[in-house]
A and B are shown apart, each in its own frame.
Chain A
Amino acid sequence: MRAFIGQLALALIVATACAPPSVGAGTSAVASGGGPRRGGSMVIAASADPGHFNPAITTAGGTHFVADSLYNGLIFLDEKLEPKPDLADRWDISADGRTYTFHLHPGVKWHDGQPFSSADVKFSFEEVLLKYHARTKAGLEAVLAGIDAPDPDTVIFRFKQAYGPLLQRLDVVEAPIVAKHIYTGLDPTKADANLKPVGTGPFKLAEYVKGDRVRFERNDAYFKPGRPYLDELVFRIIPQSNTQVLALERGEIDYVSGIPGPDLERLQKNGGYTIAKSGAGSGGSFCITTLIYNLSRPPLDRVEVRQGLAYAIDRQQILDQVYFGQGRVATSAIASTITWAHNANVAKYPLDAGRANQLLDAAGTKRAADGTRFKLEFVHATSFAKIGELMRQQLAAVGIDLQLTALEVNAANDRTFIKKDFDIGAASYCNGPDPEIGVRRVYVSNNIGPILFSNGAGYRNPRVDQLFDTAAASVDRGERAKAYYEIQDIVARDIPDWGLVETEGYRGWAKRFHDLSYWSGDLAEAAWQEP
């Protein structure tokens, strides 16, 4: 009944076979008369050394950014994060939403020539992903009943109850498939094989100079006809984003995944680069920089106080001066980029110092002789320091003395999520490709425990808990959206936390390259270079 997604996928794979560049086309600016052509090499700036090449044992962005090009997921997520075929050609979802059947692409080979089969998928999940991939383990372990591999080309996922967001969890970032014949009997976290990766992906490892660069060669036996087009990918490790941009401008590299605000205008004017913005990437998708209110501490336990804060904080100024306009002022608990679930019509708190003062007065917080109502400690990572400095000014205007405690990021997260020792905290909550993945954890009351990026505010609302369960246990988008709409309504009134900015990164690359999947882990599968 729900097989229409699979049929759509089938239609797409046929289209793909006929016109290779259509899936995952990042830019459509194809030079006149030119289409994808073989050859060329692209040098990509990587901010961190990958360390190893097994993306199935880690969620580290540094490893995924590089290693994902060596592997595939069952699913590829397109620019709108809609599922498209990858290792799975098509899939059927049972009417009750509890069984997913994936039909694998026949004849796929690992880099060492061994055939890929459903046994690899089963092994990857059971022995690697569900043990060591933090997000996949946390998301699927509790709901999954089992994985079957009835024949080499079929994999069946069985769930204890209906489960909606599975397809969004199966791309190469969330669930890369590794080779059973390589890892059987080994501890995948310590195996030497992690440095001699054998994947199914469009590229193969050719050279790894630690701390310096990683070189990939074209996988000539790749299962998608014609792809990849590039002969070589080089990831050059450059920690500073300033330096990355300089290197791009000097032609030492071709691709930068994060252009700092101050450099953006110059690169845009230059004209030699394609600039694309995206809230997605291998490090986390659709992130909202969010203030977390410690609801167990007065006066933040009063909703009037939190509303007062909302009226007093100038988020546009933060977007302009801290993020250089790279993003949008947040509107609700779910990012506006997840269009089907985002509810734009929730309670709004436009900048209004008068309303803020009224609400704070109503909450019974009186101004002392020096005009101060109360003090709040803002515990934050140094990357949010600028936000704190602006907010200190903004809140002083309504009589709130914001004390800034800027800490190294892990120490700040420790104070906020583990020790719960803060008045206001801050985090960049990434929604992920589905609200079930990245939004649920922020608001459900069974996730208040000492876990990073959990419900740091300590928010408890039984109705919200119930709505999240309803949304997860359905495979119907309309039904799911209804639940998420109501959640956003409630959260906008309760304000357990306060979304400031939906951040978006700007990627830039030399104009001669086309069709980069810059939002995905599999950056260059379809990329090609003009002669």
Chain B
Amino acid sequence: MARYVVRRMLQAIPVLLAILVATFFLIHTAPGDPVTILAGDGGDQAYYDAARARFGLDRPLPEQLAIYLANAVRGDFGYSFVHRRPVFDVIADRVPATLLLMLTALAFSTAAGIALGALAARRSGEPADHAIVVCTVAASATPAFWLGQVLVIVFAAGLGWFPVQGMTTARGSPAGPGAVLDVIHHLALPALTLGSLQLALVTRLVRSGLREALREDYVRTARAKGLTARAVVARHGLPNTLLPVITVVGGHFGTLLTGAVLTEIIFAWPGLGRLLYDATLSRDYPLLMAMFIVASVSVVTANLLTDLTYGMLDPRVRLA
């Protein structure tokens, strides 16, 4: 197992390196110059030259890449042009919020998806089944940013059940258990928005998996022995359908990250989403590079974790 993990990680290195180099050229050849943007409404040629020299942007591109890679090997990914701090410090500050949002959304879509999928499977072919399929697919077909805004207008601005923005109350944040409740209160709408993206996916997998399982002989036997439909689903059907759910949900990590970017912008959630957007607009090269690395590494890691979980849950899959 450990050998498998190490081998997978080694395999990922050339992939990540290729992404790094490609991204480097992509970002550095783009129109728009970080130095002129930093100078903004002012500045002159002397300022531009000084800033270019300061950031090492006055050297030929291949040389810049070589310097970047040499520093990266030593763990130095540079300073953000805008934040003036090491890029990974800037990113690390934002990771917890994004992770909290993504994991909550994941938990929501998995739990709700299993419940709805199981219900649909038991009511196979009935109106409830069709309604669940259409509604969940419709939820994931609705652009998350639009859904988020509508949720804000209805449940936050209109009914006042939830706060409009942020992760905590800005005015006199509560401490202790109150702080946790405060975060949960703020988390509800964004997590619902983001979770709705994958709801249809999970529901569909659980539904079709269960329908198949319910026709298996052992399930029929269990039913014949007098177990209720609910008990049969819970004991025999669900464990088998969880495997594809894990695979597919894990494989959609990138989609979830994407959704998080937009959700965070709508709800003013202090995560990576806005950081990416701002870094792009300000041509903050080092920060953009680092965000690409983080996003790629997290997708690779999510894939690896997915496969590992899969292997642990299904002994037939041997990791070698």
Interface residues of A (CB under 8 A from B): 41, 43, 48-49, 51-52, 54, 57-60, 131, 134-139, 141, 189-190, 194-195, 209-213, 234, 236-240, 242-243, 246-247, 249-250, 252-253, 284, 408-411, 413-415, 417-419, 430, 438, 449-453
Contact = CB atoms under 8 A, between A and B. Distances in A.
Given A59-B42, A284-B41, A413-B36, A213 B94 contact: no
Contact of B31 (A139, A213, A415, A430): A415
B45 A246 contact: no
A139 B267 CA distance: 40
29 contacts: A41-B172, A52-B85, A54-B84, A58-B38, A59-B39, A59-B41, A134-B41, A134-B43, A136-B42, A137-B43, A137-B46, A137-B47, A141-B46, A190-B84, A212-B167, A213-B168, A243-B267, A243-B268, A249-B157, A252-B163, A252-B171, A253-B170, A410-B31, A410-B281, A411-B31, A414-B36, A419-B31, A451-B43, A451-B45
Contacts of A243: 152, 164-165, 266-268
Interface in B261-320: 265-268, 270-271, 274-275, 277-278, 281-283
A289 to B, nearest CB: 14
Given A141-B46, A247-B164, A60 B40 contact: yes
A246 B270 CA distance: 18
A413 B156 CA distance: 38
Contacts of B268: 236-240, 243
Contacts of A57: 84
Contacts, number: 167
A43 B84 contact: no
A189 B41 CA distance: 19
A51 B282 CA distance: 13
Contacts of A195: 85
A137 B44 contact: yes
Contacts of B108: none
A238 B84 CA distance: 21
Interface residues of B, number: 58
Contact of B94 (A41, A210, A253): A210
A265 B143 CA distance: 29
Nearest to B45: A449
A451 B48 contact: yes
B50 interface: yes
B286 to A, nearest CB: 12
Interface of B: 30-33, 36-48, 50, 54, 79-80, 82-85, 90, 93-94, 97, 149, 152-153, 156-157, 160, 163-172, 265-268, 270-271, 274-275, 277-278, 281-283
Nearest to B172: A41
Contact of B281 (A209, A250, A408): A408
A213 B172 CA distance: 12
B170 A418 contact: no
B100 to A, nearest CB: 12
A414 B31 CA distance: 7
B54 A189 contact: yes
A137 B39 CA distance: 10
B159 to A, nearest CB: 11
Max count, chain B CB within 10 A of own CB: residue among A210, A430, A449: A210
A451 B44 contact: yes
A141 B41 CA distance: 16
A135 B41 contact: yes
B53 to A, nearest CB: 12
A253 B170 CA distance: 8
Contacts of A137: 42-44, 46-47
Given A51-B84, A213-B168, A414-B33, 20 more contacts: A48-B278, A52-B85, A59-B39, A59-B42, A60-B82, A134-B42, A137-B46, A211-B93, A211-B94, A211-B270, A237-B268, A240-B265, A243-B267, A246-B157, A247-B165, A410-B37, A418-B36, A419-B31, A451-B45, A452-B43
| Closest CB pairs A-B (n = 4) | A135-B42, A211-B270, A410-B32, A212-B270
Contacts of B54: 189
Contact of B36 (A209, A213, A408, A451): A451
Contacts of A194: 84
B165 A211 contact: no
Given A52-B83, A252-B165, A410-B37, A213 B265 contact: no
B166 A250 contact: no
A239 B274 contact: yes
Contacts of B83: 51-52
A31 to B, nearest CB: 21
B270 A237 contact: yes
